[in-house]
Chains A and B, each alone.
Chain A
Amino acid sequence: MELAMKPEQMKKKFFTPWVIALTLIAINGLIFLAIRFFWGIGAVTNLSNEHPWGIWIGIDVAAGVALAAGGFTTAALGHIMHRDKYEAVIRPALLTAMLGYTFVAVSVAVDLGRYYSIWHPLIYWNGNSALFEVGMCVMIYVTVLYIEFLPIVTERFIGRVNLPGVLSRLNGTIDKILRALDRGLNKTMFIFIIAGVVLSCLHQSSLGTLMIIAGPKMHPLWQTPVLPLLFLLSAFSVGFPMVIMESITASKSFGLKPETHILSKLGSMVGPLLGIYLAFKLGDMFIRETFVYLTELTTESVMFSIEILLGVVIPLRMFLSNEVRKSPTGLYIASVLVIFGVLLNRINNFLVAYTPPYETASYFPSIGEISVTLGFVCMEILLYRFFVKHFPIISIPDKAGINKAKYSIKGA
């Protein structure tokens, strides 16, 4: 029998040279953010009336949402289809989704001209707007993710509440509250888990609907009425590669053995998912006969080809190979390619494909925009590291081989 896995707090020290480098990049991003808030969006970005959206939307929001798809895909697999053996990857994926979506929300706020009015969609509704739907779904989904994370918090602190000084008198009460919370969550968690998957399907696809209204401003290679479906399918196929990539990276970073047997099983599902995505993508291209644009050498045709070949076809071939799926290196490279493909797809859809009718200059992100985007990525990684050190997230083989039950699915 395989050794049971149990999530534990990571014990390695927080600061390493890498972590310091990440911190510096994060601080650099914060400086540019400060400029944005004091002098307006125009002070740090290359955005204009021609190009109203840049990488803060194309990468931080659109790609951010797609790359956080590991959360709902593993939840669907582990909780809804009840495949126990994947439990070890659910918590890391949940954490990534929670952090990812938090940063999506923060990025939206940063990009909003009137960030302090970010709550307006709650009271001013426009059901015709794809953006309204994305906004509402993301808002609710972030909440759901926090709720899904709560059991990990209660598990961490039940019986271990230890406030200093005068506050120590509250320890007992807090412990009781946590226990009550844990019981309540236990009974109701499945509601949130299913809701999380439904909400994800909704907004992952609606993100694709977003650019449809731009009509002829968007290059025909990407502009298609099936965009929502393509976005959903690509989100499905990037979920597990994200989990695989993170899991291998985390194992390296914390000196653990990669969980190759779980990861290669996850990997075996990526091939079919990517295949379906590719089929729809190519089918759409042939039905709309947009392949004619590939015969010209333009930025668009080159970017499209890279996206398809490097981001879909090659990793698809890799994931279908038994050898690749058995080796951590192969899995890692194939996963990174899928992630790259989806990232590039979102950039292409939101930025490369977009050509306004009165364009005087094409858009390229400014130093400030790039700094903020990189800064957010670094902050996310740092927070991830913080959380896995302080909460039981990453599973390691349970030497004692007992108490497999403790973290069995909440709410089941």
Chain B
Amino acid sequence: MNKQNRRDFLKSVTTVGITAAGLSAAAPTKLNAAPENVLSEDRMGVLVDTTVCIGCRKCEWACKESHGMHAGDIEDYDEKGIFNSRRRPDHTGHTVVNEYENDKNRSLPIYLKVQCMHCDRPACVSACIVGAFSKKESGAVIWDDSKCIGCRYCMVACPFQIPAFDYHKALEPDIHKCDFCFDRTKNGKLPACVEICPVETLTYGKRSDLIQVARNKIKNYPDRYLDHIFGETEVGGTSWLYLASKEFEKLDFPKLGKNPAPGVSESIQHGIFAYFIPPIALYALLGGIMWISKNRDKSEGEAH
């Protein structure tokens, strides 16, 4: 390395350093402009009392009807044969009702409505590469058609296996999941499923109030309910809450801890990228090694 080159090298290293510093100053604000993820005190929720549900599946019909999906005739939903297999929400419907055996009274099966839980610390929001998911003030976790690239990482991330994908569409495949009737509630309407339910299985309200309601129910009817509100603490809490008479695991609820699903990965991400310091430090370190080993070779060469 001659003098000229060495000066160039130093100049360039300094330039890189300054650029990097500039980047690091600008980047955090941008990076924090991650998707909207508000945890409002007043967020809404739904309390699902599975001991009340009669399995009429009207919520399935109403959900499709309100979301422009093929709903068909509401009478067809009385068909009980459908309960022979357990179904999952998919591109044909954002919610399904499944049947489970009732150990206490075999003639009265337990029915369980399934849809997105609208997590308070949603894995899908944290995971989505383009921030197509967002958690709204109302508590709803919704998906933005205009951003999604169809990578399906949200599906990998969701602890409840909720987002579904249009595997048979070559163009504009969508991610499908319950949107908590975002457009309806925005205009003061009830979620379609809540509105149609004939037996008040579903109670729509402020999440904090719903937890009180659920606690009172458990206190007043200890024989009827297990002392567990599913969703109160699971994966950091969910907007949809469940009461049941049978262990939640036997109702196919996944066994989940209290820690929010995105916790570990987010702290790792933020650790690696803390104001871009680790990458820049690595850059500087490698630059230093490169410079030193060059000079070492150079002086060895001269010594020969």
Contact = CB atoms under 8 A, between A and B. Distances in A.
Interface of A: 37-43, 45, 47-50, 52-53, 76, 79-82, 84, 108, 111-115, 117-118, 120-121, 124-133, 135, 187-188, 190-191, 193-195, 197-198, 201-202, 205-206, 209-217, 225, 228, 354, 356-358, 412
B30 A125 contact: yes
B264 to A, nearest CB: 5
B165 A216 contact: no
Contacts of A53: 152, 156
A118 B161 CA distance: 24
A40 B16 contact: no
A127 B32 contact: yes
Given A40-B167, A128-B266, A216-B254, A114 B153 contact: no
A357 B248 CA distance: 13
A40 B156 contact: no
Given A40-B166, A52-B165, A215 B261 contact: yes
B291 to A, nearest CB: 9
A112 B170 contact: no
A82 B288 CA distance: 12
Given A40-B167, A41-B173, A42-B167, A213 B123 contact: yes
29 contacts: A40-B166, A49-B88, A49-B165, A53-B156, A82-B290, A82-B297, A113-B151, A115-B150, A117-B148, A120-B129, A121-B130, A125-B33, A126-B35, A127-B34, A131-B127, A131-B129, A131-B153, A133-B272, A209-B269, A213-B123, A213-B126, A213-B127, A213-B261, A213-B262, A215-B123, A354-B156, A357-B159, A357-B161, A358-B88
Nearest to A36: B170
B106 interface: no
Interface in B251-295: 252, 254-256, 261-262, 264-266, 268-269, 272-273, 279, 282-283, 286-287, 289-290, 293-294
A118 B88 CA distance: 29
A52 B156 contact: yes
Nearest to A126: B131
Given A40-B169, A41-B173, A357-B254, A131 B151 contact: yes
Nearest to B27: A127
A232 B171 CA distance: 36
Most buried by A among B161, B264, B290: B290
A115 B149 CA distance: 7
B156 A191 contact: no
A50 B156 CA distance: 9
A216 B150 CA distance: 23
A47 B289 contact: no
A129 B128 contact: yes
A200 B89 CA distance: 39
Nearest to B261: A215
B77 interface: no
Interface of B: 1, 5, 8-9, 12, 16, 30-35, 86, 88, 90, 123, 125-132, 147-153, 155-157, 159-161, 163-170, 172-173, 252, 254-256, 261-262, 264-266, 268-269, 272-273, 279, 282-283, 286-287, 289-290, 293-294, 296-297
A228 B267 CA distance: 12
Nearest to A190: B290
Given A114-B149, A126-B35, A131-B129, A217 B293 contact: no
Nearest to B144: A124
A49 B264 CA distance: 24
A58 to B, nearest CB: 11
Contact of B126 (A117, A120, A129, A412): A129
B74 to A, nearest CB: 26
Contacts of B265: 130, 209, 212-213
Contacts of A202: 272, 279
Contacts of A115: 149-150
A216 B128 contact: no
Q: Which of B169, B170, B255, B287 has the most CB of A within 10 A?
A: B170
Contact of B262 (A37, A114, A128): A128
B149 A113 contact: yes
B149 A190 contact: no
A115 B152 CA distance: 12
Nearest to B133: A126
A287 to B, nearest CB: 15
B156 A211 contact: yes
B161 A128 contact: no
B130 A215 contact: no
Residue with the greatest number of chain A CB neighbours at <10 A, chosen from B127, B167, B265: B265
Contacts of B1: 412
Contacts of A210: 153, 156
Given A42-B167, A356-B161, A125 B283 contact: no
A47 B168 CA distance: 11
A194 B34 contact: no
B212 to A, nearest CB: 29
B266 to A, nearest CB: 5
Contacts of A79: 290
Contacts of B159: 215-217, 357
A8 B286 CA distance: 30
Given A40-B166, A213-B126, 17 more contacts: A39-B168, A42-B167, A45-B167, A49-B88, A52-B152, A81-B290, A108-B151, A121-B129, A125-B31, A126-B129, A127-B34, A129-B269, A202-B279, A213-B265, A215-B261, A216-B256, A228-B268
A15 to B, nearest CB: 35
B165 A113 contact: yes
A193 B32 CA distance: 29
B1 to A, nearest CB: 7
